[in-house]
Amino acid sequence: MRVLIAQTAQDVAKIAADNVLEGLVAHGAGTTPVLGLATGSSPLGLYGELARAVKEGRADFSRAQGFALDEYIGIPDTHELSYRQTLINEVCQVIGLPEQDLHTPQGIADSVQAIEAAARDYDQAIATAGGIHVQILGIGSNGHLGFNEPGSALRSRTRIKRLAAKTRQDNARFFDGIEHVPTHCVTQGLGTILEAGRLVLVATGAGKAEAVTACVEGPLTASCPASVLQLHPDAVLVLDEEAAAGLK
């Protein structure tokens, strides 16, 4: 695991974007990169830097495919708070990744079984695309990765998960009150995430310090799902000083 600490938000974004672009080359993406995409606040600057690279002719995502890390259950994918819609606004329209090549887990269906079957198909779609070259990640203040909450199996596949109380609280800022935050989601599993060629995790702010310390220096444990990064041969963490404050 490589841990890179930057001083400003701009530097974090730039270093993270450089590591994404380098990772695409290192893992043989060529002209058809396959990106794993996180939503949330952490990677927004990184996506902005990827957009700058496109403008400057250093990157091209017009033939890329994107696979979202997760999706809420019960929110139609055309709703502005669905992760699909969020990624269309914050990634597709920013870096020029075609909307039809953005894949998101299915969070609405007539039955739980149908959502479970679609989750299995999602892992298959990643495999059919040839695997994810670079997976972009944030980390939850409780150590979650994707929406693999504490207690998640370390080799899990894409599946339905219940959101932890802490995650619902953290995400209430996007909704009109915590009661509107979905209780369940579909998330890439930890095993799915570990199959990507490179993992680039961005964390900023003091609220992430404890989770970052557990991820980097703690034991490999389902209590801190992000600790699975310790198992990955090409994982890069890009942190600001506040998020890195607990590291020795």
Burial class (CB in 10 A: 0-12, 13-18, 19+), 220: exposed
User: Measured between alpha carbons, how far is 81 from 140 in angstroms, rounded to an integer?
Assistant: 18
The minimum distance between CB 124 and ligand F6R, in angstroms, equals 20
70 scored as a contact of ligand F6R (CB under 6 A): yes
Return the residue of 13, 16, 39, 149 that touches ligand F6R, per CB under 6 A: 39
**Residues 50-69, mask of contacts with ligand F6R (x by CB under 6 A):** -------------------x
The minimum distance between CB 144 and ligand F6R, in angstroms, equals 5
38 scored as a contact of ligand F6R (CB under 6 A): yes
Establish whether 142 is a catalytic residue.
Answer: yes
Catalytic residue among 19, 142, 148, 171: 142
Catalytic residue among 27, 103, 133, 144: 144
Establish whether 232 is a catalytic residue.
Answer: no
Torsion of CA 34, 38, 42, 45, to 10 degrees: 40
What is the token pair recorded at 10?
């701009």
Site for ligand F6R in 144-183 (CB under 6 A): 144, 146-147
User: Measured between alpha carbons, how far is 106 from 108 in angstroms, rounded to an integer?
Assistant: 6
Residue 170 sits at the vertex; the CA angle it makes with 9 and 236, to the nearest 5 degrees, is 45
User: Measured between alpha carbons, how far is 146 from 168 in angstroms, rounded to an integer?
Assistant: 14
- Nearer CB in complex with ligand F6R: 39/158: 39
Residues that bind ligand F6R (CB under 6 A): 38-42, 69-70, 138-140, 144, 146-147
